[in-house]
Structure 1
């Protein structure tokens, strides 16, 4: 029996919800929203697998999984997620400003290139730079699994902690401007479809709301980690490369049952940040018009290809019968 079954259940449900939302974002070729969806999905999947694999102990197992899939992807997602929210609000601000020009193929490609750099190239660079401040391979926490670690020094401040906060505050600035422009142009907002063919007022509001809500939820946790890392555990001086990596092959093992209640609650709360973010994302996009059309398409596919029903025959027959009944009345 898993001591904390809510951890894998919550993570896997969040992963499924995010997978449901993904096709609609890929279909409109929105790099920023698709990237946020994919990064959240990856972290939820990793968190769910970790919580199952290390539900009962802190044994060092699956070293390749921890060294690559967990340590590096979690570090990359730390900056990719706020970068995606920043890119969303930046785009919304650009298309809604009073002097905005129509989004041509060239401008859309240019925007997509910038968003790919911010949401994917930059996290990969951060993953590589993480080795500079990686004092040892990783830590394993009971119930939570393996987690990335870094040496608390000024280099980690600029590589790991500062970039996400820069994107968080940048998101708030662009979100404020985008909302201001929306209020200015709300009477003629149908012009937005001319500026961007894959955009309408409903999707505009959803994108702006989800990006802002995710940052309102995530920014306090980024600040909390920054403050706790460099106050509670003390800011360490950068002595030398050899000094920082002197014990690099060590794997820390920490049973949550032996931690203080406050420390245990902090670790569990930080673990829940991403699944809750996934649920927030689903709330805003899982019930959109496009998502509903996707659901109907899946149901229709199941009826036709699995249940072997004729497509739309029963529904069309009922509608014709209803019309005939009304005419007779």
Structure 2
């Protein structure tokens, strides 16, 4: 199998940034399950990227403390992303079966606490329970990094191996019930979503697609891994805690040539570490390119540009039809020139003339230009109003030098 370096550390690092881009507005909307999905996926991408960089062409145990943290994160993330997907499907089901269009702050807070207990509690519990069947500290794989170890005993299946499948099955049940409830209550469902500020119909269905895609990704991988554990490895009898954890602090190392020689095992390792990157890219495709995301990108760009002393263009430009109250007729593809806004100079009134009443030879005749756009002659009063605006918010024209 070919070495995927440097593609693998590059893609996880890019995915780490991309998946966190929509986090601020989802936090503001209190979408707890979606936020947990982003955070856990970002942690998984960063963890895999660091491992692939530190142990590229190396099997030296140069960071034992990091490996202890990394392996615990790997164990937790294996169920954390499915748990976050379960939170999303559960919330979608609650919305689809809600009988009232009003949700109080106390109800939102309670729902957020339940989501946190699922999205944080289950991974934390899995990290603890996996330690029961952890044979030794960790393994080091060249080009992969440090990975957790689990003794293949009957106790390992209920404590560790089957958790992703069970969570995905519950999540799939919620997904089916959500679609069933939606088909029954379409009109009431649309009315409920229109009364909420944090969720639109478009975002609702993108959440369904995200959670469903995660199920289709997780179930085949975890099921095949479970099948390999049952068929390709001997299942050892559970004797005791001391027997399972005998010589616990040993660290096994596997050079790339050794683990790559087994094509099935190498494929599982590669698919397992690329799966979290794929989850991040899929999430960004659903939410990082949506309409609300583009609005936030523009707002962030304008904020940064103003901090740097730049003057970014505004999205809301006043056209002549809104400025002068005239109906726009038969205008296609015509854009009026932009003029800067300027307040009236108080010194002009003292000199006896207005800064808007005199023009240089290079000034555009706005009345003629507007006549061409509207397709019909303007009245004398309209031409006068355009040439000689009476408000400080009028368009700016060049002033004759005295």
Alignment of 1:57-206 (within 5 A): 57-68=58-69, 70-97=70-97, 99=99, 102-193=102-193, 196-206=196-206
What secondary structure is seen at the aligned counterpart in 2 of 1:126? Answer: helix
Going from structure 1 to structure 2, the CA distance change for 1:104 and 1:145 (only over 3 Å counts) comes to: same
More helix by share: 1
Going from structure 1 to structure 2, the CA distance change for 1:262 and 1:79 (only over 3 Å counts) comes to: closer
Going from structure 1 to structure 2, the CA distance change for 1:237 and 1:167 (only over 3 Å counts) comes to: same
Going from structure 1 to structure 2, the CA distance change for 1:327 and 1:132 (only over 3 Å counts) comes to: farther
Q: Deviations over 1:96-155 (max 9, x none)?
A: 126456322222122111111110122112212222111111111111111111111122
Q: Which residue of 2 aligns with 1:301?
A: 303
Q: Distance between the aligned counterparts of 1:195 and 1:221, measured in 2?
A: 39
Return the TM-score normalized by structure 1: 0.91
Q: Distance between the aligned counterparts of 1:314 and 1:212, measured in 2?
A: 36
Cα RMSD for the two superposed structures: 2.3
Decide whether the 8 Å contact of 1:256 with 1:264 is kept in 2.
Answer: no
Going from structure 1 to structure 2, the CA distance change for 1:49 and 1:220 (only over 3 Å counts) comes to: same
Q: Which residue of 2 aligns with 1:51?
A: 52
What secondary structure is seen at the aligned counterpart in 2 of 1:150? Answer: coil
Aligned pair 1:290/2:292, yes or no?
yes
Offset, 1:185: 3.2
Question: Unaligned stretches of 5+ in structure 1?
Answer: none
Structure number with the bigger relative contact order (C-alpha 8 A, sep ≥ 6) is 1
- In the alignment of these two chains, the number of paired residues is 326
Offset, 1:231: 2.2
Q: Deviations over 1:237-285 (max 9, x none)?
A: 1111110000210112112222233332332122211101111111111
Decide whether the 8 Å contact of 2:100 with 2:192 is kept in 1.
Answer: no
Q: Which residue of 2 aligns with 1:9?
A: 10
Q: Deviations over 1:199-250 (max 9, x none)?
A: 2211110111101111111111111121112321222211111100002101
Return the TM-score normalized by structure 2: 0.76
Q: Which residue of 1 aligns with 2:210?
A: 210
Q: Distance between the aligned counterparts of 1:188 and 1:218, measured in 2?
A: 33
Q: Which residue of 2 aligns with 1:34?
A: 35
Q: Distance between the aligned counterparts of 1:181 and 1:121, measured in 2?
A: 28
Question: Unaligned stretches of 5+ in structure 2?
Answer: 320-334, 340-365, 374-402
